[in-house]
C-alpha cells in the first residue's frame, strides 16, 4: 500500500466542493518558463499611501484644495486625509500574487514558491500536502493507486518543458488518462 499522506484539512479545506477534487500544489520551479510567460501579477485595489483607505478617482473640482504629491499624475484622491496621488503610489511595489484564469484553469501563486491549481480540466492522484496546505495534493508526489480521496487538480502536459508532466494526467471530463 502506498503512503497517501495525512489529510490535515479533514476533507473540508483546499477542495472543490462541487467536484470533490482537491487543489493541486506544485513549486513554480517544477513548471519552468510557462508559468512566467502565462501568469499575471495582481496588485490588489488602490490604497492611500498615507492612511491606507480606499481612494476615489481624482476630480479637480471635487478635490480642489487637497494636498498633492509633488510630480504626481493626480489619478487618485483620498477623502479621509485629503491627499492626491498617482497609481505608482496607490499600489505596492511587489504583486500580492500571480494568477492565471483561462482555458479551464484557475491557478494562483501566493508566495514565492508554491502554485495552487484551483481548477483544471485535468487531475492526478497524489499524496496530501503537509499542514502548510492542509487537504491539498502535492503534485510532485504522485501515487499509483487511484483513490478518489487523493485526486487533485493538476496542470496538463503543455505546461512543462518537453510537453510531459511529471505525473499521470487524467481528463476531468472523461476520467481517462491523456
Domain-located, residue 14: no
Domain-located, residue 16: no
Domain holding 80, by residue range, is 56-90
Rounded-to-integer distance, Cα 153 and Cα 125, Å: 9
**Domain identity same for 29 and 86:** no
**Domain identity same for 101 and 165:** yes
Q: Strand order of the sheet with strand 76-78?
A: 56-57, 76-78, 83-85, 67-68
The residue written with cell numbers 487523493 in the block is: 150
Q: Specify the pLDDT at position 34.
A: 87
**Domain identity same for 104 and 157:** yes
| pLDDT tier for residue 131 given thresholds of 50, 70 and 90 | confident
- How many domains does the chain contain in total? 2
Please work out, in degrees rounded to the nearest 5, the angle formed at the alpha carbon of residue 157 by the alpha carbons of 116 and 22: 35
Answer whether residue 113 shows pLDDT above 80: yes
Query: Which grid coordinates are listed for 80?
Result: 479621509
**Domain identity same for 86 and 102:** no
**Domain identity same for 101 and 149:** yes
Q: Which residue from 168, 81, 153 is spatially nearest to 121, judged by alpha carbons?
A: 153
Domain-located, residue 176: no
**Domain identity same for 152 and 68:** no
**Domain identity same for 32 and 70:** no
**Domain identity same for 153 and 131:** yes
Q: Which residue from 40, 38, 55, 39 is spatially nearest to 91, judged by alpha carbons?
A: 55
Q: Specify the pLDDT at position 72.
A: 79
**Domain identity same for 146 and 65:** no
Answer whether residue 1 shows pLDDT above 70: no
pLDDT-above-70 percentage for the chain: 99
**Domain identity same for 35 and 123:** yes
pLDDT in tens, 24-40: 999 998 987 889 899 99
Domain-located, residue 65: yes
pLDDT in tens, 90-108: 999 989 999 999 999 999 9
pTM (two decimals): 0.83
Domain-located, residue 125: yes
**Domain identity same for 30 and 112:** yes
Three-state SS string across the chain, please?
CCCCCCCCCCCCCCECCCCCCECEEEEHHHCCHHHHHHCEEECCCCCCCCCCCCCEECCCCCCCCCEECCCCCCCEEECCCCEEECHHHHCCCCCCEEEEEECCEEEEECCCCEEEEEECCEEEEEEECCCCCCCCEEEEEECCCCCHHHEEECCCHHHCHHHCCCCCCEECCCCCEC
**Domain identity same for 129 and 60:** no
Amino acid at each position: 500500500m502506498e503512503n497517501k499522506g495525512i489529510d490535515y484539512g479533514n476533507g473540508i479545506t483546499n477542495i472543490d466542493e462541487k467536484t470533490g477534487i482537491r487543489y493541486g500544489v506544485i513549486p513554480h520551479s517544477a513548471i519552468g518558463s510557462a508559468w512566467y510567460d502565462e501568469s499575471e501579477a495582481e496588485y490588489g485595489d488602490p490604497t492611500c499611501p498615507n492612511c491606507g483607505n480606499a481612494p476615489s478617482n481624482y476630480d479637480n473640482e471635487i478635490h480642489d484644495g487637497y494636498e498633492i504629491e509633488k510630480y504626481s499624475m493626480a489619478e487618485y484622491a483620498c477623502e479621509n486625509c485629503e491627499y492626491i496621488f498617482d497609481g505608482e503610489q496607490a499600489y505596492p511595489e511587489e504583486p500580492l500574487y500571480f494568477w492565471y484564469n483561462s482555458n479551464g484553469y484557475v491557478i494562483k501563486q501566493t508566495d514565492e514558491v508554491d502554485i495552487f491549481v484551483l481548477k483544471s480540466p485535468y487531475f492526478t492522484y497524489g499524496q496530501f500536502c503537509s499542514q502548510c496546505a492542509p487537504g491539498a495534493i502535492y503534485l510532485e508526489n504522485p501515487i499509483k493507486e487511484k483513490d478518489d480521496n487523493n485526486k487533485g487538480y493538476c496542470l496538463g502536459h503543455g505546461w512543462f518543458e518537453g510537453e510531459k508532466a511529471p505525473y499521470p494526467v487524467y481528463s476531468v471530463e472523461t476520467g481517462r488518462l491523456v
